[in-house]
Structure formats: structure tokens, C-alpha cells
A and B are shown apart, each in its own frame.
Chain A
């Protein structure tokens, strides 16, 4: 009864506070709209020139397969390496792919005697679009490799699977925004709320009643989980209905992971509240923690371009495995069983942050 009353009261507090609603609901949606309007996919296509130096049946089939990918817009008028470089400089294309003469070594029966290297030219000024081209190409190359090893009649099969797995930037962004939203909700909002309650002596007032502090905290956490649930739904709704994003995976798993991830950041929020004396101090500290994590964990862009040393460190930030798992589910329809390492890291972070929060967060100010 007390739990229910407190839970409802916490919900009322959250939904009557316009500032909380802005950060909780409007802010992440704003990100989707902004990224959507910028349209990092260059009108939904990347312009490519493919220079076929092999000229075999297989290479022609490969080009035909790439033509099937809606995302690529092939410029057939560019036929030489030099012309492709010029077009790249003039900004007429985003990337040029050279199919080398050595491609001839690949027989039409799928046998192969040596490694074939595709050369890709790209414009550094167009990193984001190149990133998309590269990931698509990587996929293509991987598919080729896989199919070459196992299945002899690969091209007919490959076309379909490539078509199905075309990843749009919005598909990549959507789980990133969900991660961002739950992190901000977790760290910033709860830390500011708790510090403000302490400053306003509300926590002390509650300590003067028989209510166990635990009950108060659990009700708050549950109310914030509701907010994050709505937030995730809003992000998915806006992303899929207005910006063409697709969720390929299991929604239940996606939501479950979102809520579990939120718990990590709620714990961190209580840690911040434990370290801060004032609400503005808490807000500052929470941002210092969450802002770098937002970019380093790859909420908006792939972190593959980070220096190796940095890259190997950011792998262990709490947001990184969470984003990886969210993307694996959302984009690749990965089952939870295939996410062992990520789930392990998430579980570890959950335990660590809970332990630290329990040590650091105090109802009392002294």
C-alpha cells in the first residue's frame, strides 16, 4: 500500500515536472529529429564508382549484386581509376571501389587460389558517409567469404540476404539514442532529484517517519523505469514511423535490456547524489560522467576509428556493452544467448554500481 502510494506519487512528481519531461522524453526525440533531418545518408544513397579491372562474369555479377543494394548509387560513367579519383575530389562520388585484376583468380565455380584485395578510395571529408559505405562493403566481403567457403551457388542467395540486411544509419542510431536517453535519465535526473530532496530536507523529513529509506528509493527507481519505458517507446515510435528506422529483433528483449541497463545508470545516479551537496553540483558531476561516455561508447557513431588504446579502454565503459547488445538485438535480431560477453559486462556493472551506490548514497547530509 505504502509502496503503491509512493510509486504513484513519484510518477506524479516526474510527470508534473516539465524539466524532467523535457530531459526524459523530448530531448532524445529531438536527437532523432536532428540526426534524421541532417540526413547523414546523403538522400538515402551513397554514390559509388566501381572500376572493374577484372571484367569476369563473377565480377559483373558482383557489380549487379551491389546495384541491388538501394543504398548504393553506382556511377557507371566512371571507368578508370584516374577518373574515379577525380570524381572523388570533385565530390561527385563518396567512394570508389577497385575490383582488381587478381579477381580473375576466382573461378565461376567459386574456387579461389589467393586472397583478393579490393581497393577503396574515399574522401576524408565525407567520413560519415564513407563509414556507411565501408560497413556495407565489409558485410559484402564477409558474405562473399562465407559463401565461398561453404555454398557453391552463392550469388543468387547473396543478393537476397544483402537486400534484407541493408543497415540504414537510422537503424544504427536508434539503439544509440535509446542508450543515451536511459543514461541521462539514470544519472542526471535521479542524481538531481535526490540531491534536491536532500537540500530541501525532504529526505530528513522522511527519516523522521517509520518509512524505511529503502522503500522510498525502490519506489523512485520503479517510477524512473516507467519513464524510461515510455522514453524508449517514444524513440522507437518516432524513429520507425517518421525516420524509416527498422527494428529487426525481438522487442521484449530490447525493452528488457533497456530497463536492466537503466538500473546501472540509476545506481550511478545515486553515487553522484552521494558525492554531491547541491543539485547543481550533482547535475554538473553527472554530465561530466555521462557526456564523454555518450561519445566514447559510440551512441551516434562507430568507435572503430578511435585509437586502439582508447578503443580498448572504452570497451569497458558501462554504456558500451549495453549499446552493443541493444544494436545486436535491434539490427541483427541476435538472440540473448549470443550476447554472453555483453550480458556478463552488464551484469558486472550492475553489481559494481549497486555496491558503490549502497556505500556512497546517504539520506542525511552530514
Chain B
């Protein structure tokens, strides 16, 4: 059953087209990711589905209710975490959760909610005294006060260090394991790959690909990346002779480094070694990596997915 349905959604701000006629569905119980660079239209898409922004054209449904015509019903059933959302500076965590629960006319077990995200001992602290990771965790847990069926997370891990990010992933999986459908946006390839059941890759307001991370990567022509580090620089064009090479990129680093995208690593490696031998330049190191969503984005849009 589709929990979220988006049909021919378009959103324009003046002449700027933020979302350009996109359609997709999110299934019950999945973690659905929207991956794309800043300004791709991810946040706008989420906010239209949540009913916070009016679409220019097209319609969106959540749990069978129109996001705009039945927005009250929708808001009752969803939990929202906004990008870089702040809560009242002068209320404690417990007070904020209690207050937001009253907006839904429900009561919450504040202690139990806070302990899920390890913030129980911060119960009586003000939001402004929390660290970045604690703030993010709190803003997610605050989206759960109404025990929502669908949780919207907008860039939930932006600005966090890798450890805090992994910690948050565990927490999002935990929410998901309780049967809640999660839809999130991110510009971290790794996050989409490791956390999401399905990923929509978005660029310039258009969905360029939508599938499971594994299928997306397997669909690539370049399934592997080979990083070659040499002692002295050599012309990048020399690598074009390597068998099965799709692209060569010179990476500016301390040592000369070249990134090759290839279809099959096993076919390309012997010919790569021959090329280097012919150039008579000592090889410093060689890395073979499987392709990831970053490569998918590059291949589909011709751009790097970086902030």
C-alpha cells in the first residue's frame, strides 16, 4: 500500500522551477530517501507533501488523504522534523514535548521518548544548551509525540560528525522497526546507501533515478573505481589505453592520483599495470572500490554530489 503518493507535482517560485513534474510513491514501512545536492528541490517536495507549501500544480496524498484539501487529517497522522529546526529557546526538552503533544490533544510519556534518543538526563535542559547532535536527536524525537504513521525527516544528519551520524541512523532504523514509514532527504551518498530501502535521486527538480541503492549501483556502466597513486605525475591520457576504462580523472592531492571508472575491475587491472610499466613510473598505491550512489549521481547528471 502506498503511504505517500505524488502525482505530477510542480512547484514554481516566480520563474524558478523548484520541482518539475515529479511523480512517485512511498510504500508502507520503508525508509525512503531523496538524495540530491542543495537546491535540488528535496525540501520543497517534502513540504508540499506535508501541506506546508502549496503546489503550483499536481497533487499529493498521505495515507489516502490529500495533503492540502484534508491537511488537518494529514497533520494529525504525520511527524515532521524540519531542516535546522529550532524549538523555543526558553523551554526545557520535557516542556516542549509536553506542549507539542497537547497540539495533538494527546499525552506522551516524555521520559520514555527522551530515553530512546539518550536524552533523558537532559530532560530539564534548554534546547540551546544541547550539542548539535543532541539537537538533531531531539528534533526527531519531537516529531514522534503524536505517534505518527509517517515521519518526515529533512536532512536529519546535516552538520553532524560521522559518529553522531551513525548513532542517528541506528535511531532512525529503530523508529522504522516500529512500523513507521520514514521519508528523508539527504545530500550524503553514504546515508542514502546504508539507511534507505529505496532512493530517489533528485537534481534540478527532477527525479533522475528511483530504485533500491543496490539496483541503482548495479545499473551503472562503471561498476568500479580504481584509484592509482604514482610517485611522479604522468599524462592522464595514458590511462585511456586501459581496457574497459570509461573515464579518467586527475585528483589533486599530495601525490599524483588518478581515478579510473571501469566496467570490470578484473579485466582492467592487468592492462592498467602494463600501462604504468610502459610509462616507467613507480607505482605508489592502487585502490579498487565498488561504485556507490555518488557514481550513480555522476553518471546520471554529469555532476559531483558534494556540498
Contacts and interface: CB of A to CB of B under 8 A. Distances in A.
Contact of B99 (A9, A16, A364, A366): A9
Chain A contact patch, size range:
20 to 34
Contacts of A1: 102, 105
B86 to A, nearest CB: 4
Interface string A184-215: 00000000000000001110111111110000
Nearest to A196: B89
A209 B103 contact: yes
A208 B50 contact: yes
A304 interface: no
B80 A205 contact: yes
Contacts of A317: none
Interface string B80-120: 10111111111100010011101111000000000000000
A99 B163 CA distance: 91
Contacts of A366: 13, 53
Given A5-B98, A200-B86, A201-B84, A210 B52 contact: no
Interface in B66-90: 72, 75-76, 78, 80, 82-90
Contacts of A211: 103
A5 B85 CA distance: 21
A205 B87 contact: yes
A109 interface: no
A13 B86 contact: no
Nearest to B73: A210
Contacts of B72: 210
B88 A2 contact: no
Interface in A208-237: 208-211
Nearest to A364: B52
Interface in A278-320: none
A364 B88 CA distance: 17
A212 to B, nearest CB: 9
B88 A208 contact: no
A16 B104 contact: no
B88 A204 contact: no
Given A12-B91, A209-B75, A210-B75, A201 B86 contact: yes
Contact of B82 (A5, A12, A16, A205): A205
Interface string A1-23: 11001100100110011000000
Interface string B159-197: 000000000000000000000000000000000000000
Contact of B52 (A16, A17, A200, A204): A204
Contacts of A204: 52, 82, 85
A13 B85 contact: no
A366 B48 CA distance: 13
B158 to A, nearest CB: 14
A204 B152 CA distance: 14
A364 to B, nearest CB: 8
A155 B263 CA distance: 115
B104 A12 contact: no
Nearest to B86: A200
A201 B83 CA distance: 9
Classify the secondary structure of A's interface with B: helix
A2 B102 contact: yes
Contacts of A13: 88-91
Contacts of A5: 98-99, 102
Nearest to A200: B86
> Which among B75, B76, B99 has the highest number of chain A CB atoms within 10 Å?
B99
A9 B105 contact: no
> Which among A1, A210, A364 has the highest number of chain B CB atoms within 10 Å?
A210
A287 B173 CA distance: 50
B84 A9 contact: no
A210 B76 contact: yes
A2 B107 CA distance: 11
A208 B99 contact: no
A207 B52 contact: yes
B120 to A, nearest CB: 21
Interface in A338-364: 364
B142 to A, nearest CB: 8
B167 to A, nearest CB: 23
A292 B82 CA distance: 40
A208 B82 contact: yes
A205 B85 contact: yes
A241 to B, nearest CB: 31
A251 to B, nearest CB: 32
A202 B84 CA distance: 10
B95 A9 contact: yes
Contact of B80 (A12, A202, A208): A208
A208 B90 CA distance: 21
> Which among B80, B82, B83, B102 has the highest number of chain A CB atoms within 10 Å?
B102
A210 B99 CA distance: 13
A13 B92 CA distance: 10
Contacts of B103: 2, 206, 209-211
Given A16-B90, A17-B90, A201-B85, A210 B102 contact: no
Interface string A231-261: 0000000000000000000000000000000
A249 B84 CA distance: 52
Given A208-B50, A209-B103, A9 B91 contact: yes
20 contacts: A2-B102, A2-B105, A6-B99, A13-B88, A16-B90, A200-B85, A200-B86, A201-B82, A202-B85, A202-B87, A202-B88, A204-B82, A206-B103, A208-B50, A208-B51, A208-B52, A208-B78, A209-B103, A210-B76, A211-B103
Interface of B: 13, 50-53, 72, 75-76, 78, 80, 82-91, 95, 98-100, 102-105, 146
Given A12-B91, A201-B85, 15 more contacts: A2-B105, A6-B102, A12-B90, A12-B95, A13-B88, A13-B90, A200-B85, A201-B82, A205-B80, A205-B87, A208-B51, A209-B103, A210-B76, A210-B104, A366-B53
The 8 closest A-B pairs by CB, nearest first: A200-B86, A208-B80, A211-B103, A16-B90, A209-B103, A5-B102, A13-B90, A210-B75
